[in-house]
Chain A
Amino acid sequence: MEEPDTDPPLVVVPGADPSARQLCFEWGPAEVLVCETRFGRKGGSRTHPVPSRSPSRPQSHPIPTPIPSQSRALTGCVADAAGAAPGSSRVFVVHRDQDIYIQTLRKLFNESHGIFMGLQRSEEELAGKSRKAQLVQVSKNYRSVIRACMEDMHQAAVSTRDPALQGQYSTQVSILSAMELIWNLCEILFVEAAAAGPLLLRLLDWVRLHVCDVDSMVREVLSSESPSKHKLFWNVVDVFVLQGRMDEARHLLSKEATANPTSMTMYKILDDLMKKMPMPSLGNTQTLTELELKWQHWHEECQRFLQDGTFASNPHMESICKILLGDEDAILEKKELMTTWYHFLVTRLLYSHPTVKPMELRFYAQSSMDMFLGGESSPEPLDMILMAAFEFEMHQVIKECSIVLSNWWFVAHLTDLLDHCKLLQSHNLYFGSNMREFLLLEYASGLFSHHSLWQLGVDYFDHCPEYGRVYLELHIERIPLSTEQKALKVLRICEQRQMHEQVRSVCKIMAMKALRNNRLGSALSWSIRAKDAAFATLISDRFLKDYCERGCFSDLDLIDNLGPSMLLSDRLTFLGKYREFHRLYGEKRFPEAARLLLTLMTAHIAPCSFWMTLLTDALPLLEQKEIIFSAEQTYELMRCLEDLTAGNVDKQKFQEDDVETTKVEMLRLALARNLARVIVKEGTVEGS
């Protein structure tokens, strides 16, 4: 079990003054709300940090984006600026993942999302070697995305004229560069888990790729007219030797040799030594013991030449020979050319312990750092992270990175990869599930706090078995549904994951919006999609109310085409059927219309409140020249009318309302007349 950090990093909320007012805060799923209370501070410490789960922001960089900065540029923004008057409180919104808002990094988030998804889909069944190759490839893909992003950022830094912006871009370049450096080392040590021999070759590649400070010097010398006359000539030769780039070093030396025929033999000998230097191979062509034997032999040969003073006349060559022998003082003399302690470490390994085993690295790493820094400077966070990696303290690497870096992207993806390498299985946290899931949740929550990147977050939550679902449910409800198109996308996400509650909620919001805009048709199709019977009833009532007020139906194209969705709610069924009655009536299909009208009441499809309207609709049918309602149907209509008036006696409505009374009287009269006519007619028909 991991202990929480005893010393959380400070988060400065610009504009909030904890020395004047006590602050209170509330965690949200994507941000922290910080609020000034009405309590002043008496004494106590001046700084009042907001407890932070790490990469929120250690400092508040203004973020380089062309967006009008107010809302995003700062760590926190004032949510309620209206209350700036003295005595009133302000609320600050503190976002948890600062880098999410950097425009250029969106490329990193999007492209790595694809790699992440590929990794989750990848075949775990693949056997040992090919599985490892697959994982190494994934790791390389992640790194190439970091590098591509770094190049873009570099381009942006070069092309901008705004010095402040330039500074920000440069900072980002160095952060990305550090991320790639750490990732690369983790790839060698953990993902590929290179064995003794190949391990050294990988570390050499690593150093060559990342120590670029000397590149310009190398270019300058190589492109000069005669490199051997250049004042930095020997520096460049040394750089090549220190990085184990023997062929390049020999090529340069040969130029010097042709210019100096007198010392030709000396060059020949050094060249020969460099040529013969045994190197580990990637294939299985030689065993480690063979290599060690050869190396021992070569080492002794170098020793011999150094001792018999072969290079005494040329201090440059003598120092190179000493380097070849792994003389630590000689190597340390070239400190400026190595620039970092880890370069020194790798050079030292190359010339003294080429068959170093992974588990021995920690000793050499620690001593190399001590020797290189020599008590002059203390190690920086990056040094500590690399050191933790050399010590194979994976959790320490992740922890330190979480604290130092201003984003969750790095730790989330690296941890996920290491987890797929089956390296983090046994580790449990004192909170939540495992570390992989914890970090992915944090990263995805950050994505969800972004107005546009939230879609990426969904897939990350999907791959968090324990809490992903709950997080997604909480976050997805908070996505503003600005257009139907966006609502449909949100809805699709919810439907695919059987999140019924959220599906209903999205549809209800959209149906309410449509209703408010008087778009009854749209409102109805949203509630049909959510199979929300109650809401469909509500909308049907609106349609019926509109009809009663205006005497005609709106949105006929919809009501005439309800199809099977008509069965969603009783009221909707009634609406559809009632409209059908009107169509039949319009088409002068009176007997069918009459039958339908009666069924609407006798089968209790129509709500009671609507019966009076239906009976009134029967009036013109009763008044037709030909007889439409049969005797039996007329009796039923009469019963409906009596049920209706009897039911309303208590309310005294019919007695007091003149219009209603007249209506009832008219209906009774019409029904009686129809009954009389029908009896006569039916009697005549039967009698004849």
Chain B
Amino acid sequence: AMEDVSAKFVSQKISRARWRPPPHAALQPPDVFATGSWDNEDNRISLWSAGDLGNVGLSGEYHGEPHLLCDIQHNGDVMDMQFLDQERIVVASSTGTVTIFRHHQNNQTLSANHRWEKAHHHVDQNTSCGGAACTGVVCNNPEIVTVGEDGRINLFRADQKDAVRTIDNADSSTLHAVTFLRTTEILTVNSIGQLKIWDLRQQRNEPSQIFSLAGDRVPLHCVDRHPNQQHIVATGGQDGMLSIWDIRQGTMPVSLLNAHEAEMWEVHFHPSNPDHLFTCSEDGSLWHWDASTNVSEKPSFLHQGGRSTTYLSHSTINQSVVSAWLSNDPTKDRMEITNLIPNQTLSVNSLDVLGSCLVYGTDAEAIYVNRQLFA
């Protein structure tokens, strides 16, 4: 419901919003998130408290808009960012630089902890190299992988000064996003509609597998992997289409789902409830895809072995049942899709989901927090 959404106008266009990961799988709702801005003369990384905990109403609902904890200036547009751990955020810049910022929680300040200058750059014979936008970053502490407009893939370690591995010219078109498939393998998407798997253990500078869209090679802008079933991958394209891939088979997507009317900027499986998926787009909408209606008709494993049923989460079910995302039958039509933002006109650039909480940021210079996603 709309009442559960709190909004704040922040006087900067938001390119990224990320929840801080909870300390060791804690059950309490996430409380702090980070945002990055773009297209400002003075871009910033900001940390926000999601709402005033002192204002919890009688029925447990939260009030109050997010409030700023601390912020720091950032050189260039924030293209992507991710929490490395509870205290550190890795930020990709349009200048090609990758920076780790540290959040000092005792005195609420942010500082630049480490910086890889021009991790992404163009190599020009005539001039010295100019920075190329770093478009995507993904972390698996201590490893950090970045991709960029220069088609380069970098592998860093948070504690090492130089890149552990660099694949120059890994892609001849722009790499738009990256994510981990397994600890040593990554997935990238590019501007000619390709999804590639790279095995970082191999010294070959070639992808181990290439998948691609048929027809008009529509650029892909975002990618996410199913948290439990690693072979299921979702990507979002320039035409707003959601593609689901099964990387065990074929070179083309398993299903193409008509979605937004413009670029899909981000796609996220819900980390603990992966029958739910969230996408946001340049067209100003944010969609909640609920495939759980399909699963509920499958035989339930909930009551097996007399174990406590309440403790079994959806994720355990999913490992034993064919995923709702791959089913090819017409029940797909019964997937429930809800647009969470009616009447928005400007782009929703980023979203993040954790527990029952959703945060998103827009070009209309506002951040929104929805605390009751599944209410």
Residues of A that sit less than 8 Å from B by CB: 66-68, 71-72, 103-104, 106-107, 110-111, 113-114, 117-118, 121, 451-452, 455-456, 459, 482-486, 488-489, 492, 496, 516-522, 525, 554-558, 561, 563-565
Contacts and interface: CB of A to CB of B under 8 A. Distances in A.
A66 to B, nearest CB: 7
Interface stretch (B37-45, B83-91, B287-295, B332-340): B37-45
B40 A451 contact: yes
A107 B347 contact: no
Given A483-B94, A485-B77, A516-B124, A521 B11 contact: no
Main secondary structure of the interface of B (DSSP, over half): loop
Nearest to A556: B172
A484 B149 contact: yes
Interface in B160-187: 169, 171-174
A110 B133 contact: no
B172 A520 contact: yes
B171 to A, nearest CB: 6
Contacts of B79: 483, 485
Given A563-B215, A564-B215, 4 more contacts: A107-B9, A485-B77, A518-B125, A556-B172
A467 B132 CA distance: 37
Nearest to B122: A517
A518 B123 contact: yes
B352 interface: no
A452 B12 contact: yes
A66 B71 CA distance: 13
Given A114-B345, A452-B39, A489-B347, A519 B151 contact: yes
Given A486-B39, A519-B151, A113 B364 contact: yes
A118 B149 contact: no
Nearest to B261: A496
A449 to B, nearest CB: 13
A557 B210 contact: yes
B149 A565 contact: no
Nearest to A557: B172
B262 interface: yes
Contacts of A492: 262-263, 282
B42 A554 contact: no
Given A516-B124, A557-B172, A563-B215, A103 B11 contact: yes
B194 A67 contact: no
Contacts of A111: 9, 366
A106 B11 contact: yes
Contacts of A518: 122-125
Contact of A558 (B135, B192, B344, B345): B192
Contacts of B344: 114
Contacts of A521: 151, 171-173, 192
A486 B12 CA distance: 15
Contacts of B122: 517-519
A452 B13 CA distance: 8
Interface in B274-301: 282
A121 B9 CA distance: 23
Interface in B108-128: 122-125
Contacts of A561: 192, 194, 212, 217
Nearest to B37: A452
B11 A104 contact: yes
Contacts of B191: 484, 522, 525
Interface of B: 9, 11-13, 38-42, 77, 79, 94, 122-125, 130, 132-133, 135, 149-151, 169, 171-174, 191-192, 194, 210, 212, 214-217, 219, 238, 262-263, 282, 343-347, 363-366
Nearest to A72: B41
Which of A451, A484, A564 has the most CB atoms of chain B within a 10 A radius of its CB? A484
A519 B150 contact: yes
A482 to B, nearest CB: 6
Main secondary structure of the interface of A (DSSP, over half): helix
A522 B150 CA distance: 9
B122 to A, nearest CB: 4
Contacts of B42: 66-68
A486 B41 CA distance: 14
A80 B151 CA distance: 37
Given A110-B364, A492-B262, A554 B172 contact: yes
Contacts of B282: 488-489, 492
Contacts of A563: 214-217
Given A557-B171, A557-B210, A565 B194 contact: no
Contact of A455 (B192, B343, B363): B363
A488 B169 CA distance: 22
A522 B173 contact: yes
A565 B130 contact: no
Contact of B39 (A113, A451, A516, A519): A451
Contacts of B192: 521, 525, 558, 561
Nearest to B364: A110
Nearest to A488: B263
B11 A519 contact: no
25 contacts: A66-B42, A72-B41, A103-B11, A110-B366, A451-B40, A452-B39, A455-B346, A456-B364, A482-B77, A482-B94, A484-B133, A484-B135, A488-B282, A489-B347, A517-B150, A519-B122, A519-B150, A519-B173, A522-B149, A522-B151, A525-B174, A525-B191, A525-B219, A561-B192, A565-B216
A451 B124 CA distance: 28
B246 to A, nearest CB: 20
Nearest to B15: A485
Which of A456, A459, A489 has the most CB atoms of chain B within a 10 A radius of its CB? A489
Contacts of A455: 13, 346-347, 363
Which of A113, A483, A521 has the most CB atoms of chain B within a 10 A radius of its CB? A483
Nearest to B214: A563
Contacts of B346: 113, 455-456
B40 A452 contact: yes
Contacts of A452: 12-13, 39-41
B9 A118 contact: no
B236 to A, nearest CB: 13
Nearest to B73: A66
Contacts of B12: 106, 452
A31 to B, nearest CB: 16
Contacts of B210: 557
A561 B210 CA distance: 11
Contact of B217 (A489, A496, A565): A565
A564 B13 contact: no
Contacts of A482: 39, 77, 94
Nearest to B362: A110
Contacts of B94: 482-483, 485
Nearest to B10: A107
A484 B177 CA distance: 13
A103 B174 CA distance: 34
A485 B219 CA distance: 12
A528 B263 CA distance: 17
Contacts of B366: 110-111
A9 to B, nearest CB: 28
A126 B352 CA distance: 39
A474 to B, nearest CB: 20
A516 B151 CA distance: 15
B18 to A, nearest CB: 17
A555 B9 contact: no
B162 to A, nearest CB: 23
A516 B125 CA distance: 10
Contacts of B132: 517
Contacts of A525: 173-174, 191-192, 217, 219
A118 B343 contact: yes
A114 B364 contact: yes
Nearest to A105: B11
Nearest to B282: A492
A71 B40 CA distance: 13
A456 B346 CA distance: 8
A159 to B, nearest CB: 12
B41 A67 contact: yes
Nearest to B121: A517
